[in-house]
Amino acid sequence: MKVAVFINIAIVFLLQACCTKKDCNTGLYQMELKGFSFSEVDTVVVSRYEKNSGFVHLIDSTVAWTSLNNDGSSTLYTEGQIDINKDYKIYFPGIDQSYTLTDFQMGRKACNSCAPFGRESDFYDVLEGYRINGVTHRMNTVFINK
């Protein structure tokens, strides 16, 4: 009897050990900037538009902040989560250049899914692609290259 109880406990621990047990919360809050000097990205204006409006129906604009990374790139932080159901124009006054960000493609990945513990609700959305100035990029991080 003791052996059966021990085996059942061991099976439960083994099944639980295969689970990923990670935070399923996701969101897109930043963009990576490549090829810009820090003085070119010290001020960045992020404008949000209605999706597919041709950048005519402006919703709001905000000045984003940036940080310099060890590899010389910069990270641009938005004032909250990027809404994938909107289009964006990112303006760099230091170089008088704008970039459009549209057509977010999302996928779903399992989170903490391990039989018998996984639930259908344990999924999270991941960025799989987007368009910068009309060019499609298939990656899970938004990169803006100068």
Question: Side by side, which strands form the sheet with 135-137?
Answer: 135-137, 123-132, 97-110, 86-92, 44-50, 58-68, 74-77, 30-34, 143-145
pLDDT for 10? 47
pLDDT in tens, 79-117: 888 888 999 999 999 999 999 999 999 887 777 666 555
Instruction: Tell me how far apart the alpha carbons of residues 20 and 111 are, in angstroms, rounded to a whole number.
Output: 7
The band of 7, judged by pLDDT with boundaries at 50, 70 and 90, is: low
